[in-house]
Structures are given as structure tokens and as C-alpha cells.
Amino acid sequence: MHPLISTDDLTELLDHDPPPVLLDVRWSLLGPPGRADYDEAHLPGAVFVDLDTELAGSREGGGRHPLPEAADLEGVLRRAGVDQDRPVVAYDAGDGSAAARAWWLLRWAGHRDVAVLDGGYSAWTGRGMPVTTVEPDPRPGGFRVRPGSMPVADAGGAADLSRRGVLLDARAQPRYRGEQEPVDARAGHIPGAVSAPFAEQTDSAGNWRSPSELAARFAELGVRSDSAVGAYCGSGVTACSVVLALEHAGVTGTEQPATLYAGSWSDWCSEPERPVATGADPG
């Protein structure tokens, strides 16, 4: 499955037997929790998955959203009805930056048939498609999590990528430049990293830009077909959408996806001895 799916294609897919598993991953960095939005209305059949508690681990270290333990993630996905041979579609409020975390984790866990709804909930309701307040009770799935199908870097790996390849920083430019830091202990970026705000991957309505537009953007950022490329953000959430964008653009493929620095800036800046760059230049 292509990493993005349109509302029209999702509508057609929902007529299949069985239909895809729908995951509602609405989330915001500074809150409030997305559960309230889900309770107000959601796509029929969609199961809410909490990004903070179910798509992230609880162990100390590794940033604010460390990867979940395999057994914990497997339990979450099975409760949602996920099976190995059944497609999964994740959506968030609009731009896919949160839903991409579910997409990435499923791919990391070994599921190959997963996509993000282009434009998310906003695109769905904007087309006048049905929503509901009924919470489904899905039959438990049998998906088995097998970690390792997507490349992951630690702090050392991220530093290496910034030297020998292209390390993309998905945060807003003021955070990259070190002008502001609303969440983490220090401001700035990993030396050598290139600013690539995830918000520029979509238009003002939250719809993803075309593959050719994204390919041109990544080329301007120095990414080549033979580049070693990775991404990070504040805590490893929105960087997943950069990994998705690279695949959507055809810059990377399913067999050689971009690397995610899972701990991201929240992990990097937690160690005082790690260098920090500021300003617009990679440093």
C-alpha cells in the first residue's frame, strides 16, 4: 500500500470484506488529549489510539516519546483489531504528522499494508463523509509485532548521519535556530542537521504535496538518491512524517527507508556534553 490514501480510495476500501482497521490518532503536542475529539465524532469503525500512552513507551530515557516495548505495542494493536493480512489506515486531525507515528510503528513492527489518510479528519468531513459517536468493539486481532523493519538511530547514529549523509530536522525553524524551545531543556539543533519543517510537506488545508513537489524540496535540502538520510524532531513523532514524505516522494523506498532518530531532540539535549548548534546554518 502507498503510504498515503485519499478519502475516495478509503471509501472504496471500506466496502471490502473485511474493511481496513481504522486508527484515530488525533493528538497535539501541547494538548488537550485527542480522546475528547474522538468522543465528539470519528470515522465509523475507527478505534482511538492514544499517542502519548499507547504509541510511546514509559521507560526512562530515550526522549519524551521513546519507542514502546514490543509486547505493549502488540497488545494495543491487537485490541484495535489489527491482523497481519488486513490493511490499516491511520488518521489525525489533518496534516498526518501524528498519524505518521502509527504508520511508522506499524511498519517498524513488520506490517506492510498501512497508510495515512491524506488530509485526515478534516478532509473526510470536508467531503461530507459520515462520522459517528459510536465506539466500536472490534474482534481482537492476531498481529505479531516483530521490531526492526524500519531503521532506527540513537544519538551516536544521528551524529554520524549528520556527517556522512543528510539529517533532517522536522521542527519549526525558530526551534531549529534556537530562538525558542517550548518543551525541552536546551534550544538549538544537532550540529550538521538541515532544517526541514514537517509543516511544509502539506498545504494550508493539511493535504500532502505531490511527490514531485516533495522530491524537489528534498533535493533543495541536499538529499540525493544515494544519500544516507535520517530525520528527527522534538520527540520522535513528527519526524515520522518526514520518513513518510521521503517515501511518498520516491526519494526512499520500502526496502531502504529513511532512518528515524527515535529519541530526537528531547534525547539529544538531555546530555549536557552533546554539542548544540544555533542559527540558520547546519553548523
CA dihedral 247, 248, 249, 250 (to 10 degrees): 50
Please, which pLDDT band fits residue 232 given cuts at 50, 70 and 90? Answer: very high
**Candidates 161, 233, 260, 262; catalytic one:** 233
Q: Tell me the domain boundaries of the chain.
A: 4-126, 152-268
| CATH dotted code for 4-126 | 3.40.250.10
Question: At 265, is the secondary structure helix, strand, or coil?
Answer: helix
**In the structure, what pLDDT confidence band is assigned to residue 254 with cuts at 50, 70 and 90?**
confident
Q: Which of 90, 126, 130 is nearest to 106 (CA)?
A: 90
Q: What CATH class does 152-268 carry?
A: alpha beta
Q: What are phi and psi of 61, to 5 degrees?
A: 80, 170
Whether 269 is catalytic is no
Q: How many CA atoms lie within 13 A of 142 on its CB side?
A: 2
pTM above 0.75, yes or no: yes
Task: Give me the pLDDT at residue 30, please.
Answer: 78
4-126 and 152-268 agree in CATH topology:
yes
**Across 23-46, average pLDDT:** 93
Q: What is the pLDDT of residues 125-177, one digit of tens each?
A: 999 999 999 999 999 999 999 999 999 999 999 999 999 999 999 999 999 99
What are the grid coordinates assigned to 203, written together?
498545504
pLDDT exceeds cutoff 70 at 61: no
Reading the block at residue 222, the C-alpha cell is 541536499
Per-residue pLDDT of 80-134, as tens digits, reads: 999 999 999 999 999 999 999 999 999 999 999 999 999 999 999 999 999 999 9
Task: Tell me if 207 sits within 8 A of 139, measured CB to CB.
Answer: no
Percent helix, strand, coil in the chain (nearest 5)? Answer: 30, 15, 55
Q: Please spell the DSSP secondary structure of 31-99, one letter per residue.
A: ---THHHHHH-B-TT-EE--HHHHSS--SSSS-SSPPPPHHHHHHHHHHTT--TTS-EEEE-SSSSTTH
- Both ends of the chain: CA-CA distance in Å? 38
